[in-house]
Amino acid sequence: MSEDFEIAETELEIAAWLQEHPDFFTRHPDLAEGLHVPHPCQPAVSLLVYQNRLLRERGQRLHDKLLEFVSIARDNDRLAERVQRLALGLLNGRSGMKGFLGGIEAILQEEFHADDVSLRLEAAPAFRSKIAAEFLCPEVVARFGGLFWTGQPHCGRLRPEQAALLFGDGATRVASAALIPIGGREWRGLLAVGSSDAERFHPGVGTLFLERIGELVSQALQARLPDQRRLRVVRDSPSARNL
């Protein structure tokens, strides 16, 4: 066994023993006063000064982390208020389907300070006449079919051809986007929220509020579409057959 290995092993044993007996220097203050620890700005400092510096640095890190948590909490509170206003806006909508769908885009653009919002839908034949033609884009929805497998919003940068499909002339100013899958009985769609800030919808951003937005829009739109099951019951009823 080499001398260097023996020294290293001994140091590890000493370190382990000191960890198990943190009061050692309390019982031997003369040893603590004589210890010197390397310092990045000076050749050496006393153990007490070194410990004080470590405690101050740790306290600063905890303070910074606390401020970060407070900032996140405030952001979440603001987002919750915006989602609530979106829900109220959807409930209060009294316009036709075209105005309702356009209103969804307007609310999101205003409340969430989006630079562009796009709503693209595809539906079974029985529903198509109920949806404004400008929002019916089955070929666009099909291009993003992978989103409907996961059912989760996706955030990040779009390829130029993807941005063009969703945002048209506004594609050049969209640096990042959130893609929210929506859907109901016999229809589905894509709600795209674009931002000129490349970091606004980065891949690591939380999607909880985006999921809530998708659920709200899906339910509100489903409520405005005819219930095919109810229509089938009416058509198959004796009174309907006698007409």
Q: What is the pLDDT of residues 149-167, one digit of tens each?
A: 888 899 999 999 999 989 9
**Cβ–Cβ < 8 Å for 194, 156:** no
**Residues contacting residue 25 through CB under 8 Å, at least 6 positions apart:** 31, 32, 35, 47
Domain spanning 96-226: CATH superfamily: GAF domain (3.30.450.40)
3-state secondary structure (DSSP) of residue 138: helix
Give, to the nearest 10 degrees, the angle between helix 97-111 and helix 47-91: 160
**Cα 113 to chain center, whole Å?**
16
Picking from 181, 135, 136, 173, the residue whose alpha carbon sits closest to that of residue 155 is 181
The pLDDT value given to residue 121: 87
Q: Can you give the length of the chain in residues?
A: 243
Residue 230 has pLDDT above 60, yes or no: no
Scan for tokens 């009061």, then name that residue. Answer: 23
Q: Which helix (H) or strand (E) element contains residue 226?
A: none
The pLDDT value given to residue 231: 39
Residue 25: pLDDT band by 50, 70, 90 thresholds? confident
Residue 20: pLDDT band by 50, 70, 90 thresholds? confident
The pLDDT value given to residue 41: 55
Q: Which residue has the higher pLDDT, 109 or 62?
A: 62
Tokens for 11, please give them: 């140091």
123-150: average pLDDT: 80
Residue 181: pLDDT band by 50, 70, 90 thresholds? very high
**Model confidence pTM above 0.85:** no
Picking from 122, 87, 115, 81, the residue whose alpha carbon sits closest to that of residue 103 is 87
68-84: average pLDDT: 77
197-209: average pLDDT: 86
- Which residues in the chain belong to E strands, given as ranges? 36-37, 45-46, 116-123, 154-156, 176-184, 187-195
What's the rounded Cα separation, in Å, for the pair 166 and 140?
A: 7
Residue 179 has pLDDT above 90, yes or no: yes
The pLDDT value given to residue 237: 44
Tell me phi and psi for residue 225, to 5 degrees.
-95, 150
Q: Which residue has the higher pLDDT, 199 or 41?
A: 199
Neighbours of 9 (CB within 10 A): 11
158-182: average pLDDT: 91
Picking from 181, 226, 216, 233, the residue whose alpha carbon sits closest to that of residue 84 is 216
Q: Which residue has the higher pLDDT, 29 or 195?
A: 195
30-35: average pLDDT: 65
104-113: average pLDDT: 78
The percentage of the chain sitting over the pLDDT mark of 70, rounded to a whole number, equals 77
What's the rounded Cα separation, in Å, for the pair 163 and 232?
A: 40
Average pLDDT for the chain: 77
Q: Which residue has the higher pLDDT, 88 or 52?
A: 52
Residue 223 has pLDDT above 60, yes or no: yes
Highest mean pLDDT out of 5-14, 47-56, 130-139, 152-161: 152-161
**Cβ–Cβ < 8 Å for 126, 186:** yes
Residue 235 has pLDDT above 50, yes or no: no
